[in-house]
């Protein structure tokens, strides 16, 4: 059952750096009369440009993108266009990551192996202003309650600042952590980025605190596992 006329179809932008997956999504969505794929991108920078140019209602956004990751893109998009519905796609499912994505402004968080019919329904719900988590459709109040409940479960009821617990890595911190995954030392990172070693050390201290880990190896593993950085640039 179609929810819109073709002339008033939901405008969707697909952003994923894997061509086969991206093309598969576009083919599946192309079968729906009430959904129109208006474009596609391969990385975070393209996503930001294309949203401004094409003004989609819904963006299907891979979490693990080269350059600016999907979570950082989502945060910037919501700051610029609060009305856009963001459906995050990931190969890695983790409750903390889901909560983080929803706090960032996502309308839904889906595994990449989701059945196309379910994804189509999620796109329709997201375009209509709903939030979808674990196949549950919620309004704004319900999703806020869900987020808060899970923050308490993960971080405990005595967190001084729950927002601070989920602050994403800054673009510079992500850049530094990406270099760490390549095995570069602080000295090499400083030379590569044109900053001092002390600045690198300061950023690393901030990274360890934000990720609640003890050393740079644990930070790199955590970031890779969550899709904040990549093995390959």
Co-location of 133 and 184 in the same domain: no
- Predicted confidence at residue 221, as pLDDT, reads 83
This prediction has a pTM of 0.70
pLDDT for res 161: 44
CATH number for 130: 3.40.50.2300
Domain assignment of residue 178, yes or no: yes
Is residue 159 situated within a structural domain? no
Residues 119 and 179 in one domain: no
User: Does one domain contain both 145 and 218?
Assistant: no
Question: Which are the contacts of 178, defined by CB distance < 8 A and separation ≥ 6?
Answer: 229, 230, 233
**110 part of a folded domain:** yes
pLDDT at 11: 97
Task: Give the per-residue pLDDT at 5.
Answer: 53
Matching residue, tokens 């999504």? 25
Measure the CA dihedral 161/164/165/167, to 10°: 160
Q: Is residue 156 part of a domain?
A: no
Phi, psi of 37 (to 5 degrees): -80, 115
Could you tell me the residue range of the domain that residue 196 belongs to?
A: 169-226
Torsion sign across C-alpha atoms 116, 139, 126, 51: negative
At 201 the pLDDT is: 92
Q: Has residue 161 been placed in a domain?
A: no
Structure tokens at 132: 């979808």
Domain membership flag for residue 193? yes
In a domain, 114, yes or no: yes
* Secondary element (H or E) of residue 111: strand 108-111
Q: Give yes or no: residues 26 and 53 share one domain.
A: yes
Alpha-carbon span 87 to 70, nearest angstrom: 10
> Are 107 and 35 found together in one domain?
yes
The pLDDT assigned to 6 comes to 55
CATH no. for residue 213? 1.10.10.10
pLDDT at 1: 41
Question: What whole-number distance in Å separates Cα of residue 154 and Cα of residue 149?
Answer: 9
Total of domains in the chain = 2
Extract the residue ranges of the chain whose pLDDT is less than 70: 1-7, 152-168, 231-233
User: Does a structural domain hold residue 27?
Assistant: yes
* pLDDT for position 157: 46
């Amino acid at each position: 059952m179609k929810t819109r006329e073709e002339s008033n179809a939901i405008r969707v932008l697909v952003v994923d750096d894997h061509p086969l997956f991206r093309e598969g999504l576009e083919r599946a969505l192309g079968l729906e009369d009430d959904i129109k794929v208006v474009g596609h991108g391969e990385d975070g920078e393209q996503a930001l440009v294309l949203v401004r140019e094409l003004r989609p209602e819904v963006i299907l956004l891979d979490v693990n993108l080269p350059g600016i990751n999907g979570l950082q893109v989502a945060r910037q998009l919501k700051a610029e266009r609060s009305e856009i519905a963001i459906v995050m796609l990931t190969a890695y499912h983790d409750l903390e990551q889901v909560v983080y994505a929803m706090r960032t402004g996502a309308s839904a968080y889906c595994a990449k192996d989701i059945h196309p019919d379910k994804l189509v329904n999620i796109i329709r719900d997201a375009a209509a202003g709903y939030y979808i988590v674990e196949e549950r459709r919620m309004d704004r109040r319900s999703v806020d309650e869900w987020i808060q409940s899970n923050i308490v479960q993960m971080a405990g009821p005595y967190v001084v600042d729950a927002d601070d617990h989920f602050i994403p890595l800054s673009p510079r911190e992500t850049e530094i952590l990406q270099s760490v995954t390549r095995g570069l030392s602080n000295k090499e990172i400083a030379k590569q980025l044109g900053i001092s070693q002390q600045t690198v050390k300061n950023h690393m201290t901030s990274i360890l605190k934000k990720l609640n880990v003890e050393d740079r190896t644990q930070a790199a593993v955590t970031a890779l596992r969550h899709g904040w950085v990549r093995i390959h640039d």
